[in-house]
Amino acid sequence: MRKTFITIAALSAALAFTSCGGQKTETAQEQNFNNPFIRHLYTADPSAHVWADGRLYVYPSRDMTPDNCDGMDNYHVFSTDDMLHWTDHGRILRAADVPWQKEALNNNAKFMWAPDCAYKNGKYYFYFPHPDKNSWNDNWKIGIAVSDKPASDFKVLPEPLKGLPEKGEIDPCVFIDEDGQAYFYYGGGGHSYGAKLKDNMTELDGELQEMQGLQDFHEATWVHKRNGIYYLSYSDNHDEGNDTEGVKGDNRMRYATSNSPLGPWEYKGIYMEPTDSYTNHGSIVEYKGQWYAFYHNSELSTINGEWNDWQRSICVDKLFYNEDGTIQLVQQTK
């Protein structure tokens, strides 16, 4: 079932909306419906893309349980054509659909973490991390689901991405350059790796190489291009506190630039300070002439006065560049 939701993009007038199921009509001002822009599900790790149909699509992970991340199961897709009205296209994939990870699934380990999506050869390729054995931290693979549509009918391929080492990483990112060449990135635990993809989008074209020049890399590699410059953004290891101290907010978002999609990279700085979540994971995309930074926070987990980091929600704010191509600090808004 598709559901459409409305958020506020610096509007002063009230905008009416009706939710599915015949509920009463309310104004957007009454709802105060802004960031986070998805509120009926807990979502994190937003991967944003603009496809040929003119819509912007977001592929996030889902927080399913309030106490840990191994119960994260299934992916939804959201889209918009005006950054105001958002459509939930429903679930496209869950752990039970992955044929090569039965051993992990038998132990009720879901681990459907941060995904990404790419379009090439008339197909949409959805990339997601998942372990194939019980000891999940040493057995990450990158699964691939393929569809003719951007938000439905995805089928998981019988094998994960080929060419990766036995002990893999998380947070896949696929960047397709202007010449049509696709690049694959992933990483965690202090290391970011990248390589070319073959035209079939299911195999690496050469060995992975570590991305050089990054400072304090933690995870969440994202690559985009602007004015001939490649940007690699990521979350760092910043720590403002811990649970016992009651201090929230950890990862900052940093970035580096290069003249090549595989580096070496020149570190440039921080473009987003911590949210109220212990994690952050973002994407950067241009839509209708405006650049946007997608990220997540735990704002909706604090509504009832009890905060839990594994109930995160995706957000978006405008992103601006300086004349020299550096990124201004993103202002997180409500």
Is residue 159 annotated as part of the catalytic site, yes or no?
no
State the amino acid at position 324 in one-letter form.
Answer: D
- On the CB side of 63, CA atoms within 13 Å amount to 27
- Based on DSSP, count helices (H) and strands (E) in the chain, helices before strands: 2, 22
Catalytic residue among 45, 70, 169, 236: 45
276 CB-near residues (< 8 Å, 6+ apart): 248, 249, 297, 298, 299, 302, 307
| Amino acid at position 119, single letter | Y
d(CA 27, CA 14): 6
CA angle 146, 151, 153 (to 5 degrees): 50
CA distance linking residue 224 with residue 292, whole number of Å:
12
The closest of 196, 204, 309, 176 to 251, measured between CA atoms, is 309
Let me know if 219 is a catalytic residue.
yes
Query: In the 8-state DSSP scheme, what is residue 272?
Result: E
Among the listed residues 63, 219, 250, 299, the single catalytic one is: 219
Which stretch of DSSP H or E encloses residue 105?
helix 102-106
What residues are labeled active site? 45, 219
